[in-house]
Amino acid sequence: MNAHRLPPALAARLAADPALWRDFNDICDCGGRLAGTASEKKAFALLRERVRAASPANSGRSIPVPYNGWTPKSATLRLPGGATAACHPLVRTIATAPEGLTAEVVDLGRGTPDEFAEHAGEINGRIVLVRHELMFAAGTIHRRRKYDMARERGAVGFLIAGPLAGHVVAGSSGRDSGPGIPALGIAPETAAKLARSAHGWPSVTMIIETDEAPAETETLVYEYPGTTDEWVVLSAHVDGHDLAESAMDNGTGLAAALAVTRTLSPEVGKWRRGLRVMFFSVEEWALTGSAQYVQALSAEARAKIALNINLDSVAGSPNLAALSSGYAGVEPFLLQVAVANGQSLRTVRPLMTNSDHANFATGGIPAIRLVSGFDDPNAHLRVVLTPADTRDKVAQGELRQATLLTAALVAAACGADPAEAAKWRVRSAS
Ligand SMILES: [Zn+2]
């Protein structure tokens, strides 16, 4: 018997589980799940109900997560000539004065460090315009880094153009509290109107109204102990953006985590390690929920976590990748489990701080993010953070495949012998 293979009875149960697709659609029905909205609360209530149905004896626990609350009230972008263009306030953008911020726009293309350096003398006092990039690719420059480069060079505002014709783009500015610059997502057509011309740089007005007040959300935790005090953590983030239904990011991860919990929770008691299922929020706000959780763990508690398997955007393409966060020692295990279960998987090593696994990884815990469509510019994943992140982008077969692979990884990780698990903690640099 192959220790890497999910027991066929469990695989068959998952392959036929009608609740996987129902859960995914019900999560999408909650709406975009922006932290602090009724939509986010509705999703938490749904997760509670579905886990209770799967394991009535386990009521789980809720960890309060205080954070700097922020609510967008209105956003306007006035173009040269006076027309307005569709725009979307980036999460935690500062508000402008009531009359707005009027300044010239300097277009820095993609917004690479080179472009910022070449235009260093033209940024101070202007609004910087950059492009949103496919997030799931090697060499991606994260929006938050571009925002920081703009701020550091004295920009007074920040515009980021989305990838999809006719649609604005969402995302976080990365600001927590304190100083910042007004930041809006716009459509590519709008960006095209803001090119420098013979007349100079075009001037726009940004008007943003927000509310900021202390807020609280939660992290939901369900523990199913194994025969030792060690754990495998399966995580997925609940929150999203209010542009659509945040279907791929991360309705897919939530539905897969629920299905794996339903199928594996009755089995875990026989295995060496327990399963700790975690639903984080304020992930889209600089990974706040998981950051608080990992920071509060003692060194001993961290050592008891053998592996974090974080599900974020696991369908939208048939191609799955595991981002191994520098933990080179876990890669052979991941690949062996994939092949033993008839799945293809690639591993990508550099730490990518684009989801909750990053906090586990930097906290000394082997952590992977399972993601679909990595390095595929044609995958539906390119429209994550736009209004097109809707359920029609997800094929049921892809979601089921990702769920089966997740279950296989969790089961094998729970059962792996200590010598194998010790290898997972080996990092590429050590
Ligand atoms: Zn995500």
What sign results for the dihedral spanned by CA atoms 52, 370, 280, 365? positive
pLDDT tens digits for 359-371?
A: 999 999 999 999 9
Q: How far is the CA of 4 from the centre of ligand 1 (A)?
A: 28
Q: Which residues contact 346 (CB under 8 A, 6 or more apart)?
A: 319, 320, 321, 322, 374
**Predicted confidence (pLDDT) at residue 1 exceeds the cutoff of 50:** no
Q: How far is the CA of 227 from the centre of ligand 1 (A)?
A: 32
From the list 7, 10, 23, the residue with the least C-alpha distance to 391 is: 23
pLDDT tens digits for 199-249?
A: 999 999 999 999 999 999 999 999 999 999 999 999 999 999 988 999 999
Q: How far is the CA of 202 from the centre of ligand 1 (A)?
A: 34
Q: How far is the CA of 250 from the centre of ligand 1 (A)?
A: 5
Instruction: Spell 158-175 as b/e; 16+ CB within 10 A means b.
Output: bbbbbbbeebbbbbbbbb
Across 89-93, average pLDDT: 95
Give dist(CA 102, CA 277) in Å, integer: 48
Across 366-387, average pLDDT: 93
From the list 287, 356, 369, the residue with the least C-alpha distance to 324 is: 369
**Predicted confidence (pLDDT) at residue 43 exceeds the cutoff of 70:** yes
Q: How far is the CA of 167 from the centre of ligand 1 (A)?
A: 19
Using a pLDDT cut of 70, give the percent of the chain over it. 99
Q: How far is the CA of 135 from the centre of ligand 1 (A)?
A: 10
pTM: 0.95
Give the 3-state secondary structure of residue 357: helix
Q: How confident is residue 430, by pLDDT bands cut at 50, 70 and 90?
A: low
Joined together, the tokens standing for residue 350 give 């550099």
Give the 3-state secondary structure of residue 197: strand
What sign results for the dihedral spanned by CA atoms 49, 404, 282, 173? negative
Q: How far is the CA of 381 from the centre of ligand 1 (A)?
A: 11
Joined together, the tokens standing for residue 404 give 């089966």
pLDDT at 2: 76
Q: With contact defined as beta carbons under 8 Å apart, do 158 and 184 qualify?
A: yes
**Predicted confidence (pLDDT) at residue 85 exceeds the cutoff of 90:** yes
- State which H helix or E strand residue 42 sits in: helix 38-54
**Predicted confidence (pLDDT) at residue 136 exceeds the cutoff of 90:** no
pLDDT at 429: 64
Across 319-323, average pLDDT: 97
Q: How far is the CA of 361 from the centre of ligand 1 (A)?
A: 16
Q: How far is the CA of 198 from the centre of ligand 1 (A)?
A: 41
Q: How confident is residue 287, by pLDDT bands cut at 50, 70 and 90?
A: very high
Phi, psi (degrees; rounded to nearest 5) at 321: -130, 150
Beta strands 183-186; 203-224: pairing state: unpaired
Across 96-114, average pLDDT: 97
Q: How far is the CA of 230 from the centre of ligand 1 (A)?
A: 27
Residue listed under structure tokens 């997800």: 394
Give the 3-state secondary structure of residue 297: coil
Determine what percent of the chain falls in helix, strand and coil, rounding each to the nearest 5. Answer: 35, 25, 40
pLDDT at 284: 85
Beta strands 305-311; 183-186: pairing state: unpaired
Joined together, the tokens standing for residue 345 give 């998987």
Using CB atoms within 10 A of its CB, is residue 38 exposed (0-12), middle (13-18) or buried (19+)? exposed
Q: How far is the CA of 382 from the centre of ligand 1 (A)?
A: 13
